[in-house]
Every structure is written in structure tokens, then in C-alpha cells.
Structure 1
Amino acid sequence: MMIIGISGHQNLPEAARRRAEDDIRALLRGQHEPFTGMASLAEGADQLFAELVLAAGGKLHAVIPSLAYETTFRGNALDTYLRLLDAAADTTRLPFDVPDESAYHAAGNYIVEHCDLLVAVWDGQPARGLGGTGDAVAHARMLGREVLVSWPQGVQRA
């Protein structure tokens, strides 16, 4: 079974969100075997990816960085997180007490180390803190994982 992981920015400009949606849909349509999408279900790219995995008939594996992770969400993002967590076929909860950069970094590494392909909704810039998308991409490349970067040229992250 193909395992596709996600790492991506939380605050996506609309053009980046549309591009990511198109790229992820095309990737998932091209799967000729059962697949699992692995995500931490963070707001932005993770939630978009998880929604598309489920819509395409894939299984969702949620990687939860810490206890009280849900406290990092507000409003619709919290509702979406809880709905996606409930829809996940598998859940891995990492042993961190608080949702912080160390927990996010560990979750990103876990996803990279357990996927066949990493989708990176990423502007190509260094991470803005430990555990950002730039760190996940660097780790994936170090391990020789295939990385699909989705980001429209010329679009700046907020």
C-alpha cells in the first residue's frame, strides 16, 4: 500500500491553496493501488490534504503531535480537526505533553520516515521554527524520499 505524507503551511494564500488542491487531486487520481494519506491534521495544507484523501477513497492516518493538540485549533479549524480525527482509520499519538515545536518536529519526522512520498505545500523557504515544512522536506530528501512540492511561482506566504 502506498503511503503519502503531507507537510505544508498553515496559512495558505488562496492561489497556493488552489494549486495544492489541483496537485493533490491529480496525484491521488493517479494512484493505481490502495493508498493511505498520513497527516497531523493541522489547519491549512494538512486539513486540505486529509479531506482530499478521504474524498478519493484513501485511508487517513492521523499523526497527533501531543496531548492537548486540539487546543491549538479555533473555530472551523477545530471542527474540521475533530471530524478528520474521527474519520481516520489509524491514529498515532506521539508522547509529548504539550503542543510545541519539538512535538511538531517529531510529528513531521514521523510522517517522513513512514511515507513513500511526501507532498510539500511549501514556498521553498526555510522553516520559521523547528518542525516547519522546510525541516520536513530536508529530512525527506536526506532519507531519499520522493518529494512533490506544490507552490505557485511568485506567491508569497503570509
Structure 2
Amino acid sequence: MTDAEGDPVPRQQQTTIAVTGHLDLTERAVPLVRAALDELLKPYAGDAGPLVGVSCIAKGADTVFAEAVLAAGGRLVVVVPSRDYRRGVVEPEHGGSYDRLSAAAEEVVVLPYETADREAYEAANAVLVQRADRLVAVWDGAPPTGMGGGTADAVVAARAAGIPVDVVWPEGAARGG
């Protein structure tokens, strides 16, 4: 691409932002989180440069983030923790969103695990951190549970790798039971 004088126009730097977050956002929290994510993604959207969002598109934060990335004109990369994830883990009420976001993704990475278990989730977190320039954590700040593969675990891994972490937990956000 060239400008009016025929000089090359520098390409915008691609920014890859991965997400980790809670599955159990309350119904009231979802629009609060979405508004916060829309605001956070603004500097990376449109003419600011190519935005790539990386998400496991689990219910809750992952899905809200993926929808915000697409609304901002970004490209979506989906990381599927295991071969049985859609069939064995995705709840029926989330299936439509999961399928729609999978279809909208530029790339779907299915990890080589048969079952969605701790090892598969830890590997998915590792892929998120490996691909990210930044990590967005829709996170209430609770420490790791020791189960592995959770939101706090991804935050710890990203920080250890020197990846900047943006915590999103707007006032009024809450987790359900």
C-alpha cells in the first residue's frame, strides 16, 4: 500500500489479545463486562491496527470477549482444549453461541487431547499465553484453586512469561453459584 506520493505506508502492528475469565458470570454482570471489554479493545480496533482475539469460547467471559473482538472488527482464533469439548463440555444453552463463534473464527486450534480434563485445560491456557501479546483476565482476583487450568492460573502464567495482563472486573460484576 502506498500513500498519495507513492511512498509505502507502514503496516499497523498486529496485536494479539487472549482472554481468560470466569464461566459463571451473573446475568447482570454480562453487560457490565461487555462494556468494559468494548472500552478496553477500542485502542486496538479498526484503523488502530489488526486485532486478533484468542479465546476458548467457553461460556461466560470467553464468549463475551470473542463477541467483543468480532464487534471491534478483529479476527478470532479459537482454542479447543480437547476433541470431546463440544460434545462433552459445552452445555446445551451455550451450544448456539459456541457454534456461531467457531464458524466465525479465522482459525480453530483443537488440542490433541481426547477428553477435557485438567491436562487439556492447562495446555489450552499455555496456548493462550504463548500466542498473546496481552492477556485480558475477566477475573474477580481470587487466587488459584490448585486444580489447574483456571483463570488465576492463566494470569500467573502470563505474568511469569512477562505478558501484560489487563484485569477486567467492573463494579457490579459478580459470579453466580
- Work out whether 1:103 is the aligned partner of 2:120: yes
Cα pair distance change 1:154/1:59, threshold 3 Å: closer
Aligned to 1:146: 164
Letter in 2 for 1:3: T
Q: Please state if 1:116 is matched with 2:129.
A: no
| Equivalent residue, structure 1, for 2:24 | 11
- The equivalent residue for 2:152 is 134
Q: TM-score, normalised by structure 1?
A: 0.93
Hey, what does 2:40 align to over in structure 1?
27
Cα separation, partners in 2 of 1:155 and 1:76, compared to 1, 3 Å: closer
Q: 1:87 aligns with which of 104, 108, 119?
A: 104
Q: Secondary structure at the match of 2:169?
A: coil
List gaps (5 residues or longer) in structure 1.
none
Query: How much has 1:55 moved relative to structure 2?
Result: 1.2
Q: Which residue of 2 aligns with 1:54?
A: 70
- Output the amino acid matched with 1:9: H
- What SS does the corresponding residue of 2:59 show, helix, strand or coil? coil
The one-letter code of the counterpart of 1:27 is: L
Divergent runs of 4+, >6 A:
none
Tell me the TM-score normalised to structure 2 length.
0.83
Query: Within 2, Cα distance between the matches of 1:153 and 1:58?
Result: 26
Distance 1:138 1:86, change over 3 A: same
The 8 Å contact of residues 33 and 173 in structure 2, kept in 1 or not, is answered as: no
Q: CA RMSD in A?
A: 1.5
Shift of residue 155, structure 1, vs aligned partner: 5.3
> Cα offset for 1:153?
5.1
Give per-residue Cα distances to partners, 1:35-93, cap 9 Å, x unaligned: 10000010100011111111111000001110011021122301111111111001111
Contact kept, 8 Å, 1:19 with 1:150, in 2: the verdict is no
Residue of structure 2 aligned with 1:125, choices 138, 142, 150: 142
1:65 corresponds to 2:74:
no
CA distance in 1, matches of 2:170, 2:129: 23
The letter for the 2-side match of 1:147 is V
Residues 110-132 of structure 1: CA deviation (Å, up to 9, x unaligned): 10111001000001112342100
* % identical aligned pairs: 41
User: SS at the partner of 1:30?
Assistant: helix
Give the count of matched residue pairs. Answer: 158
The residue that corresponds to 2:93 in the other structure is: 76
